[in-house]
């Protein structure tokens, strides 16, 4: 599984605050593998204030 830290390189360019769909879209655009995309699709659908908020969700899922 991709770690939260590794995931950050695929989230460059996200315009925060961002919801789950914007985060997933940007990760796909940046070449994230399907495993990471599926993981991001499972985070709660809410507004994320920045990359640290996403990392926290991913850390809690692992």
Angle between the 34-41 and 51-61 helix axes, to the nearest 10 degrees? 90
CA 46 to chain centre: 12
What pLDDT digit, counting tens, does each position of 24-60 carry?
999 999 999 999 999 999 999 999 999 999 999 998 8
Beta bridge partner(s), residue 39: none
pLDDT tens digits for 5-19?
A: 888 999 999 999 999
Task: Note the pTM of the prediction, 2 decimals.
Answer: 0.90
DSSP states along the chain: ---HHHHGGGGTT--SSB-HHHHHHHHHHTT--HHHHHHHHTS-SS-B-SHHHHHHHHHHH-
Domain spans, the chain: 4-61
Alpha-carbon distance of 29 to 56, in angstroms, equals: 22
């Amino acid at each position: 599984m991709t770690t939260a830290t590794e995931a950050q390189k695929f989230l460059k360019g996200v315009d925060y605050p961002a919801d789950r769909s914007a985060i997933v879209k940007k990760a796909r655009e940046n070449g994230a593998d399907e495993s990471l995309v599926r993981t991001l699709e499972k985070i709660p659908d809410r507004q994320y204030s920045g990359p640290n908020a996403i990392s926290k969700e991913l850390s809690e899922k692992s």
